[in-house]
Structure 1
Amino acid sequence: MGARVSVKQVVVVEDAARMPDLMGSNDEVMRVIERAFPSVQILVRGNEITFSGDEGDVAAAAGAVQELRSVMAAGVPLTPQVARESVRMLSGARGVAAAAAAGATGESGRPVSVLSRSILSTRGRTIRPKTEGQAAYVQAIESHTITFGIGPAGTGKTYLAMAQAVAALQAKKVNRIVLTRPAVEAGERLGFLPGGLNEKIDPYLRPLYDALHDMVDPESIPRLMEAGTIEVAPLAYMRGRTLNDAFVILDEAQNTTQEQMKMFLTRLGFGSTMVVTGDVTQVDLPGGTKSGLRTSREILTGIDDIAICELSAQDVVRHRLVSDIITAYAKADESRGPRGGGQQRRFKEERS
């Protein structure tokens, strides 16, 4: 084994005014780099960042910072999460040093290509995928008629699908958006709940309304709903319909029965796109009832124009602890034996 070579490399940030953005609030972005490469000593002075240590590790750390500069130049605000995902993508895909050597080749696997992709610009901000898995999910929605987004809470399954729906409506690719969820806690027997129709269904559909309000001017939502351009309804209200020229999202699909899932999928009409989201580890159906989401994942694999995108704890975009909690529970489940519902960090594009 050859001797380890200690080197020093300096990265100069020509625009010194961008240094605070590159460092992050309270230097949090640079701390992510330090934690990712603990054997590298990083010294920041003015607009120069000096890396000292083993040759390979120094090249990797410097390459990660250069990539973050590219991400920042593409208009993406740098956060600790963006830094962690960039480092993970670089080291996981082909190694940070190889990425640095690739330079500005514009290859699609680079973090700058994934993280700078814009889905929807609305209300003064831009909605983008924040992880490699989310980017694959967005691409699947754009290129398939039916897409399944399966993964734990916080992975952006519903939010990104909603952004795609609003973008498609704005681009006139569809004439309307249909959002639906199973009201499983009420067994969909909404008549037994107190209040009028809106009061009955509101608790089950509120998360969809919340996401919608992030992307559409709240004052225009009642008008759009009255015109039928946007419809939010329980899954039971989909029966007997054919949905043409629509972007249809079924949320919390793990709580559908096999019959309900089949009913929903066969509502597909011409010119429509369907996205089905859910977490197969969070099924609230009565004991012995098999989730329609789990069944459809088994039955529909291999059918042309259907994509199955599975997200994992690595794609969680909430507080960092959410990802750690999901990972801890997954390990506990594995230690108790297979249950058939675990998550995989896998993207499968079911298209010939």
Structure 2
Amino acid sequence: MNQSDTTAAQPHSIDIILEPADNERLANLCGPLDQHLRQLERRLGVEINNRANSFRIIGAPAALTLAERVLRELYDTSATEILSPARVHLFLQTAGNDAATAPAEDSQEVSIKTRAGQVRGRGPNQRQYLHNISHHDVNFGIGPAGTGKTYLAVACAVAALETDRARRIILVRPAVEAGERLGFLPGDMVAKVDPYLRPLYDALYEMLGFERVAKYIERNVIEVAPLAFMRGRTLNESFCILDEAQNTTIEQMKMFLTRIGFGSTAVVTGDITQIDLPRGKQSGLRHVIDILRDEDGISFTFFNSKDVVRHPLVSRILDAYERHDNGRQADDDDSTRH
């Protein structure tokens, strides 16, 4: 091994000081028994030592740069919220996604202010998604559960309502029976579909509060409805979100997209690997990708397992299912050829 190889193999270190010095924020940053620091060490392959607000990070040069950035961002965040292992995981995931892209200045950063705080994209796909929604009238967010497709769309809708860029929010979902029969649920059609719309309600409650959401729904400023109720309408000056769009038929997707009126924005979200339509029915979301992908004024953002912002096991579970499906498809192709 020559001298340059020996130098490259030796660990490097950097010293940083986090300002302003604040014992409560430092305790929040480090976590109980330095739990958060150990989490950073495991994920980034570094060693972190500290005395008060002075930190030394030891590791490979690229890992040092990433660890310093994450530490500083977490310290900034510690001033306004209590950090947890899940929150640290989100920062690490964002940092990992960013590191995989060119370190260029992100001129597309979109920040949305809601009652729950500032909402920003985590990683390049989420940032691109927010940028697309702010610049296009019709937008598609396609990818697995947990990637923030619906949550970010609702945040954009709330921001548009609060800044008078939209007069109404229309939240829509297809009423598809995912293994259970709607007919056996109590109540009228709205009551039967209501549980399917719960994720949309939850996001609204977090961003606006229960009382304001109830008031807006009562005044029809916010409308939550099954897709079938959209037929024959024209939605002007509205922010429309069609969630779980993989369960629309081709005709339903066309119907929804042609409801969009003047001054309106539409966001369509879905996961084309989780289709609950009856066998033989083609998904309107899968079909529309081929139809509209090259049309001006329409954006498509595709998410993957790296964008999942839930428990770290979720992205590994999704990857495992994808490997299994790809292997089964390959076996089917081989049997067809033979």
What does residue 238 of structure 1 align with?
230
> 1:1-352 to 2 correspondence within 5 Å?
2-5=4-7, 6=10, 7-17=12-22, 18-38=25-45, 40-53=46-59, 57-58=60-61, 60-70=63-73, 72-73=75-76, 79-94=87-102, 107-108=105-106, 118-122=111-115, 125-185=117-177, 194-337=186-329
How far off its partner does 1:13 sit? 2.6
**Separation in structure 2 between the aligned mates of residue 11 and residue 268 of structure 1, nearest angstrom:** 52
In the alignment, structure 1 segments of 5+ residues that lack a partner are: 340-352
Deviations 1:104-149 (A, max 9, x none): xxx217xxx96xx531320x53333333321111111111101101
Q: Give the AA of the match of 1:3.
A: D
Give the share of equivalent positions with the same residue, in percent.
Answer: 47
Deviations 1:65-96 (A, max 9, x none): 135414643777563223312431343124xx
**Separation in structure 1 between the aligned mates of residue 215 and residue 68 of structure 2, nearest angstrom:** 47
SS in 2 for 1:185: coil
**Separation in structure 1 between the aligned mates of residue 296 and residue 207 of structure 2, nearest angstrom:** 31
Give the conservation status (yes or no) of the 8 Å contact 1:51–1:58. Answer: no
**Separation in structure 2 between the aligned mates of residue 329 and residue 266 of structure 1, nearest angstrom:** 35
Aligned length: 318
Q: Give the AA of the match of 1:119.
A: I
Q: Give the AA of the match of 2:89.
A: Q
Q: Give the AA of the match of 1:80.
A: V
Deviations 1:149-203 (A, max 9, x none): 111111111111111101100100011011110001199x978864234423322
**Separation in structure 2 between the aligned mates of residue 32 and residue 198 of structure 1, nearest angstrom:** 45
**Separation in structure 2 between the aligned mates of residue 149 and residue 165 of structure 1, nearest angstrom:** 14
How far off its partner does 1:220 sit? 2.9
**Separation in structure 1 between the aligned mates of residue 130 and residue 163 of structure 2, nearest angstrom:** 16
**Separation in structure 1 between the aligned mates of residue 29 and residue 91 of structure 2, nearest angstrom:** 10
Q: Give the AA of the match of 2:280.
A: G
Q: TM-score, normalised by structure 1?
A: 0.81
Deviations 1:37-64 (A, max 9, x none): 43x44332333322345xxx13532443
SS in 1 for 2:164: coil
What does residue 336 of structure 2 align with?
none
